[in-house]
Amino acid sequence: MIAHLRGRLLEKDPESVVLEVGGVGYQIAVSAATARTLGLAGAEARLWIYSHYVQDGGASLFGFSEREERALFETLLGVQGVGPKVALAILSGLPASELTKAIAGADVARLTQIRGVGRKTAERLAVELRDKLVPFPVGPAAGAAAGAGGGTFGSGAFASALPERLADVQGALMTLGYRPAELEPVIARMDPSLPVPDLVKQGLAALRRI
């Protein structure tokens, strides 16, 4: 199974690329977010790969610039009726942070604005994935915004001191729209030995009381 490729871009369009690796050109479907991170033809690129095999049809490759986006893609595939093409369309329809927020908040109206997502699929996303997204700190944009704000988790001493599990909790809560200033005192009281989903639930309960 191919997990990662690094090579030279031969072709690129908004939905796919051809990546030359060791003299072999791989055609790879990409999300809109990943396409925006890649350079022009001739540039070097690396992609985290999901390989989808079809009986008697070979393999289709799906590429992502970040492992977190690939993990979210794989999670979407666990929803009934969501195949690789629909999962990629979902990722392309909303930034990852907005997508996870819409799913966690069961915002069916927002989800049905994504091309190819009907009401039944949107409802399945909200019901089946609401408790499965918390391990994914899928908001690189949120992290960048935090770094620009000064005195936040993204660049302060508090961020560098966070255990990995609490950093995951921080990322999950930030994708739900909470600000770093709200999260710091809550996360500081957490037990890093507990599972991430339990810590996220504790954090949400504490934040609702503030």
**Is the pLDDT score of 33 beyond 70?**
yes
**Is the pLDDT score of 10 beyond 90?**
yes
For the stretch 70-126, pLDDT in tens is 888 988 998 888 999 999 999 988 888 888 888 887 888 999 999 889 999 998 888
Buried b (16+ CB within 10 A) or exposed e, 14-42: eebbbbeeeeeebebbbbebbbeebeeee
Q: pLDDT-derived band of residue 210, with 50, 70 and 90 as boundaries?
A: low
Residue with tokens 């995951």: 168
Percent of the chain beyond pLDDT 90? Answer: 23
Give pLDDT, residue 80.
85
Q: pLDDT-derived band of residue 175, with 50, 70 and 90 as boundaries?
A: low
Least confident range from 13-17, 35-39, 109-113, 192-196: namely 192-196
Return the CATH superfamily for domain 4-64.
Nucleic acid-binding proteins (2.40.50.140)
28 vs 139, more confident: 28
CB 80 within 8 Å of CB 124: yes
d(CA 123, CA 141): 26
The CA-based angle 83-10-65, given to 5 degrees, is 45
67-129: CATH number: 1.10.150.20
Q: Domain spans of the chain?
A: 4-64, 67-129, 140-209
For the stretch 124-156, pLDDT in tens is 888 888 766 654 444 443 333 334 343 333 434
44 vs 183, more confident: 44
Query: Which amino acid is present at 169?
Result: V
